Every structure is written in structure tokens, then in C-alpha cells.
């Protein structure tokens, strides 16, 4: 039975349909609100506003549930590989063995990046933040691939997905090679996608490089965990930019910029810097807990809290376990992991954090694993972006296929009323 929500303004009643999702999430459909009442809604930060219907990811922040296309994140992180999950996110179903083989094969056809891109990389200072370079290079790919994709043509869309997956991984590693003064590397089509990340990053012309299989396994898991997270800041940005019918590379570039911020994906870098600072100051976790709780101190416990999760972030649970495993396998004894565990234990019983439902999020432990793998701190958010890429593509594709209108919020104007122009000599 369909539900109706009733709104009363100045004694007049208006009815709005209620939308119910597969998991019984409910929304009041206010599409006709302004045309019927003259009112708009006000919801800074979109804490209560749905922007779309989506079939891709289900997230229950109260229960700590995350599913891609109906599959639990626990199952996917434990049983699948990253490209399998990328395929699932973008095309809606887990691939068969043949489909997965073909997908990998088709991505390999697009792993060569135009050599002219190297000139753009040369122009950046070596000290530039990798996320800034990545956003610019992703946008620059538009110049080398100017033909817009026809989203309704399945074959064209498939090619665009493979092209984006292939080239993005390569340019993501350019940022590190540039910072180190190493020659830019080429994708090795004899190796797998995740293994190639390590190869692209660390293989030098002076000798062969074989990544530790435990590192590749952990990376595979981390990329899956970052695969999609419904309408978060960067994904909403990708959908918003794409809603003007800007191309896939331009939209993804905007997503990279949104992800960069420390309140979003940039938190993984900020967490490690915070843990290093605590360590450098004698490891006094209590002092930093007190700072985080002090309203007059802008310090926040990075890696804690989430707009949607008001329970444990299921990804953080998996990552915490992976951190223990990876560090043990690699024989790394990192005192920073102990500080992180101390902070977490303290926060989980502290009234400030408990009452605000602030739990560790995906970024709290991921940096510790990246650090054990030898990945520099400034690259952490780039790894997040590589993992999130299939989610961004899937959401962009869905938005275009569903023919969503251009994203254009309204506002309540609070500035001056009409006033007379003041000539220069009277100001
Ligand atoms: N440390 C200390 N206090 C916090 C923290 C934190 N990490 N996070 C939230 N709070 C407090 C706020 O000060 C606020 O307190 P108040 O009610 O007394 O004013 C309350 O908890 C609610 O916080 P908001 O900022 O209103 O919550 P919002 O949903 O807007 O923000 C966010 C969520 C941005 C993730 C926030 O928790 C935060 O800044 N966390 C640290 C950064 C971080 O780890 N970001 C990564 C998120 S995961 C991701 O994007 C991949």
C-alpha cells in the first residue's frame, strides 16, 4: 500500500508520496514541493536529503551494514578480487570466469597512456601533493580522449569503463614516481591489476621487482573495501559534475578533488600524521583525547566519526584485522599501531565519543597497512581514489542512464535588498 506524507502550511494541507526502498528506507518525494507550495527545504550538508534512487550500494549506518549490489562487504573482501568487484559495481552482476578474463584483457588494451602526458607531469614541482597532480592528470585525459561517450551504447560505455580503469591506475602512480625523481613506469600486461600497482610504483629500471604476495592480497582487500559508499562527498560530486553531461574523466577528476579533503578521503593521511605526532610527543594518547573533546580546540580525532555510520564502520573492522595480519606477515612491529589501538580502546568507552556515536572509520587503520607496505603518507588518498574508481564510474553511469536532471540546489538569499549604485567618490 502506498504511503502519503501530509504537510500543513498556514492551515493548508499538501500531500506528498512516500518512496520506499528495497530495504525499507523511506523518503518523502518533494519533487512538486516548490511548484505546489512556493517553499523549498533547507538541509545544509544534505544530512536528510536523498539526491537519487540507486541500485548500487546499500548502507545501514545504524546497523553497520555495507553491501555492493546485494553482496556483503565481508563476503566480497574475503572472497573476491578487485576487478571482479569493479565489474559487479559497474555492470550490476558478478562476472563469470570468461567475463572477468575478458574484462582484464580489455583493460590491458588501455593501459598505455599518451606519451605527451609526461610533459604535463614534468611541469609540476616535485613537492606537489599527489592528489592535486592526479586530479589534473585525470582531467588532462579528456584532452587526449575528446570524444564523449554515448552512455546508451553498451559497447561504447564498456570501452570507456575499461579505458578509465586502465589509464587511471597508471597516472595515479605517476604522482609518486615524479615525487621521487624516478622515470615514469609502464603497466606490465603480463601481471594482474593490483600487482601492477606495486610494479608501477616501485619497479626501477635498475632491476626486477617482485611484490610480496601478502601485500598484493592486502591491497586487493583494501581496494574492494573502498570500492563504493553510495552518495558520499566525492561520489555526489562525480554525479553532480556528470549531471551537466560533462565527460567521465572530467567528472572523475572532480571526484578526486572532493576526496582529497581531510574530512573525507584525505583523513587516511591525516590519521597517520596524527599518530606520528602523538608518537613524537611521547605517545600520550590521553592528551589527544582531551584535545579532541575540547570545544575550543579545533583538533579532531582523525579516522573517527562518520556522517552515516552511527555504529562500527564495517570496513574498519576488516581493515583492523588486515593490519594485524599484514604487519605480522611482513614482520613489521610498528609502535604506531599500538598508539592507534590505545586511542580506539579509550574512545570506545569515553562518554564524549559514545554519546556522539563516534566509531573508527575506514581511514583509521588503512594508513598503518599502507605504511607497512612502504607507501608514503601523501600517497594514501591516491590509493583510496584507485579503490573508489569503480564506484565513481558505476554511479556516473547510473546517473546518466537514469537520465537524471542537472544537479542544481536552491538557496535562501540573506543578502541586501535592492540598493542604489554608489559612485566611487561616495564609497
Ligand atoms: N573527533 C572529535 N569530535 C568529533 C569527531 C572527531 N573525529 N567527529 C565528530 N565529532 C563531534 C563534533 O564535534 C560534533 O560534536 P557536537 O555535537 O558537540 O558539536 C559531533 O561529534 C557531530 O559531528 P559533526 O561534525 O556534526 O558530524 P558530521 O556528520 O557533519 O561529520 C565527519 C562527519 C566529517 C566524518 C566527522 O566525524 C569528522 O570530521 N571526522 C574526522 C575526519 C575523518 O575521519 N573523516 C573520514 C570520514 S570517512 C570518509 O570520508 C572516507
Q: What is the pLDDT of residue 253?
A: 98
The DSSP symbol for 82 reads: H
What is the structure's pLDDT at 121? 97
User: Cell digits for 183?
Assistant: 622515470
CA of 304 to the centre of ligand 1 (A): 7
Taking only the tens place, the pLDDT of each residue in 52-70 is: 999 999 999 999 999 999 9
Averaged pLDDT for residues 184-203: 97
Rounded to whole angstroms, the Cα distance separating 314 from 72 reads 10
Residues in CB range of 192: below 8 A, 6 or more apart? 81, 104, 216
User: Average pLDDT of 204-227?
Assistant: 94
- Which residue has 506528498 as its cell numbers? 16
| pLDDT class of 1 with cuts at 50, 70, 90 | low
What residues flank ligand 1, with Cβ below 6 Å? 45, 263-265, 267, 292, 300-307, 356, 358, 361-363
What distance in angstroms lies between residue 19's CA and the mean position of ligand 1's atoms?
A: 29
Mean pLDDT (the chain) is 95
Which one, of 304, 364, 366, 306, lies nearest residue 340 by Cα?
364
For residue 15, report the phi and psi dihedrals to the nearest 5 degrees. Answer: -115, 140
CA distances from 382 to 38, 226, 327 (A): 44, 11, 21
pLDDT for 290:
93
Residue 418 — pLDDT band, cuts 50, 70, 90? Answer: very high
Q: Determine which residue's CA is closest to atom 36 belonging to ligand 1.
A: 305
Burial class (CB in 10 A: 0-12, 13-18, 19+), 173: buried
Specify whether the CB–CB gap between 258 and 384 falls below 8 A. Answer: no
CB 172 within 8 A of CB 134: yes
Residue 408: C-alpha distances to residues 24, 239, 345, 378 (Å): 27, 12, 43, 33
- 229 has catalytic annotation: no
- Give me Rg for the CA atoms of the chain: 23
CA 303 to ligand 1: nearest atom: 44
Distance CA 337, CA 313 (A): 18
CB 268 within 8 A of CB 370: yes
Q: How confident is the model at residue 189 (pLDDT cuts 50, 70, 90)?
A: very high
3-state SS class at 118: helix
d(CA 258, CA 205): 34
pLDDT in tens, 14-35: 999 999 999 999 999 999 999 9
User: Does the structure show a pLDDT above 90 at 311?
Assistant: no
Q: Is residue 264 annotated as part of the catalytic site, yes or no?
A: no
Q: What separation in Å is there between the alpha carbon of 302 and the centre of ligand 1?
A: 9
Sheet holding 65-68, edge to edge: 57-60, 65-68, 71-72
Query: What's the pLDDT tens digit per position in 85-143?
Result: 999 999 999 999 999 999 999 999 999 999 999 999 999 999 999 999 999 999 999 99
Amino acid at each position: 500500500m502506498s504511503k502519503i506524507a501530509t504537510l500543513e502550511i498556514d492551515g493548508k494541507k499538501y500531500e506528498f508520496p512516500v518512496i520506499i526502498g528495497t530495504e525499507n528506507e523511506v523518503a518523502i518525494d518533494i519533487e512538486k514541493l516548490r511548484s505546489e507550495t512556493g517553499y523549498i527545504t533547507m538541509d545544509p550538508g544534505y544530512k536528510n536529503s536523498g539526491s537519487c534512487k540507486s541500485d548500487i550500494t546499500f548502507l545501514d549506518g545504524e546497523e553497520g551494514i555495507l553491501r555492493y549490489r546485494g553482496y556483503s562487504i565481508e563476503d566480497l573482501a574475503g572472497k573476491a578480487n578487485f576487478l571482479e568487484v569493479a565489474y559487479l559495481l559497474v555492470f550490476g552482476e558478478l562476472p563469470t570466469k570468461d567475463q572477468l578474463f575478458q574484462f582484464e584483457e580489455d583493460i590491458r588494451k588501455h593501459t598505455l597512456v599518451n606519451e605527451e602526458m609526461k610533459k604535463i607531469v614534468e611541469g609540476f614541482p616535485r613537492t606537489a601533493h599527489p592528489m592535486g597532480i592526479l586530479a589534473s592528470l585525470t582531467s588532462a585525459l579528456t584532452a587526449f580522449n575528446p570524444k564523449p561517450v554515448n552512455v546508451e551504447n553498451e559497447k561504447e560505455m564498456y570501452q570507456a569503463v575499461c579505458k578509465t580503469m586502465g589509464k587511471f591506475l597508471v597516472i595515479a602512480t605517476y604522482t609518486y614516481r615524479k615525487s621521487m625523481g624516478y622515470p615514469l613506469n609502464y603497466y606490465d600486461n603480463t601481471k594482474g591489476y593490483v600487482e601492477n600497482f606495486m610494479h608501477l610504483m616501485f619497479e626501477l629500471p635498475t632491476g626486477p621487482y617482485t611484490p610480496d604476495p601478502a601485500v598484493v592480497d592486502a591491497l586487493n582487500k583494501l581496494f574492494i573495501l573502498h570500492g563504493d559508499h553510495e552518495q558520499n562527498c566525492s561520489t555526489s560530486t562525480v554525479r553532480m559534475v556528470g549531471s551537466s553531461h560533462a565527460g567521465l574523466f572530467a567528472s572523475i577528476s572532480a571526484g578526486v578533488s572532493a576526496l582529497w579533503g581531510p574530512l573525507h578521503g584525505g583523513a587516511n593521511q591525516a590519521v597517520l600524521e596524527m599518530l606520528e605526532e602523538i608518537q613524537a610527543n611521547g605517545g600520550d594518547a590521553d592528551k589527544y583525547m582531551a584535545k579532541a573533546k575540547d570545544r575550543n580546540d579545533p583538533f579532531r580525532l582523525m579516522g573517527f566519526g562518520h556522517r552515516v555510520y552511527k555504529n562500527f564502520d564495517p570496513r574498519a573492522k576488516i581493515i583492523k584485522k588486515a593490519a594485524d595480519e599484514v604487519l605480522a606477515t611482513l614482520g613489521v612491529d610498528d609502535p604506531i599501531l599500538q598508539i592507534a589501538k590505545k586511542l580506539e580502546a579509550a574512545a570506545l568507552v569515553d562518554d564524549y565519543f559514545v554519546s556522539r556515536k563516534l566509531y573508527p572509520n575506514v581511514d583509521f587503520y588503512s594508513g598503518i597497512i599502507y605504511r607497512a607496505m612502504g607507501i608514503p603518507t601523501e600517497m594514501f588518498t591516491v590509493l583510496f581514489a584507485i579503490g573508489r574508481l569503480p564506484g565513481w564510474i558505476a554511479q556516473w553511469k547510473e546517473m546518466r542512464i537514469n537520465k537524471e536532471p542537472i544537479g542544481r540546489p536552491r538557496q535562501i538569499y540573506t543578502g541586501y535588498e535592492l540598493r542604489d549604485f554608489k559612485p566611487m567618490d561616495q564609497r
